[in-house]
Amino acid sequence: MITRLNYEGDIRELIPTIRVPTLVLHREEDHWADVGGARYLADHIPGASLRLLPGEDHIPFFGDQDDVVGAIEEFITGARGTASEERALLTVLMTDIANSTRTLGGMGDER
């Protein structure tokens, strides 16, 4: 139902009323949405900026995320930062199945 509403809704008359800085991002080879829609938004939102990114992924967290994040950072701050080779995003997952932490603690580090 949401997908149908996305295609059936017509908000074109509201677009010119947007009065905030707006960055329109679109991947040039997007298979789900034609680049014409992005151009339309950028042309009809006062002061909007259009940034076409290489790639075909529609969802922003697929494909080249550095390009997406860099474009947003540049839009917000006026400059694109440089990625640090020493920085990394890590996820730590810990599970305690059947009190294994207590059992291993009782055994000691040596064992």
Q: Enumerate domains of the chain plus CATH numbers.
A: 2-85 (3.40.50.1820)
23 and 68 in contact (C-beta within 8 Å)? no
Tell me the pLDDT of the chain (111 aa) as tens digits: 777 777 788 889 999 999 999 999 999 999 888 999 999 999 999 999 999 999 998 888 787 888 888 999 999 999 887 766 666 667 777 666 677 667 777 777 665
Provide the sign of the torsion angle of the four alpha carbons 36, 41, 47, 50, taken in this order.
negative
